């Protein structure tokens, strides 16, 4: 079995890993080609939206406090999910590294 076929099995057809920059950042064409990068952008958007809603509430321009609370809960949930996935991946990596060959 060649390395290319293992890469295809692991990535599930997402694409080949060319460099660490390609995995965690946009490609040279300016388009993101990474599922991880897209998810992190979504989490960042949720957090920025929640911060904006909090600022509007603080200055009295928020129309609905329920929307502010929903925005905060959405940002918190997406961040916690991302942190938990990272923790699980790190635990899995450490477990693989402890395996004896």
pLDDT in tens, 61-87: 988 999 999 999 999 999 999 999 999
- pLDDT recorded at residue 57: 93
Same domain, 83 and 98: yes
Same domain, 41 and 24: no
Q: For the chain, first and last CA: distance in Å?
A: 19
Read off the pTM: 0.61
> What residues make up the domain containing 24?
1-33
pLDDT in tens, 10-42: 445 444 444 444 445 555 545 546 888 999 999
Same domain, 44 and 88: yes
Phi-psi region of 2 (alpha: psi -120 to 50; beta: other; left: phi over 0): beta
Q: How many domains does the chain have?
A: 2
Same domain, 58 and 68: yes
Number of neighbouring beta carbons within 10 Å of residue 16: 10
Could you tell me if 12 and 38 are in contact, meaning their C-beta atoms sit under 8 angstroms apart? no
Same domain, 3 and 27: yes
């Amino acid at each position: 079995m060649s390395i290319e076929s293992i890469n295809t099995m692991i990535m599930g057809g997402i694409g080949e890993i060319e460099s660490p920059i390609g995995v965690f950042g946009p490609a040279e064409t300016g388009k993101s080609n990474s599922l991880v990068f897209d998810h992190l952008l979504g989490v960042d958007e949720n957090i920025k939206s929640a911060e904006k809603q909090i600022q509007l509430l603080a200055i009295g321009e928020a129309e609905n406090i329920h929307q502010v609370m929903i925005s905060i809960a959405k940002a918190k949930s997406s961040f916690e999910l991302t942190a938990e996935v990272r923790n699980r991946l790190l635990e899995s990596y450490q477990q693989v590294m402890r395996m004896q060959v």
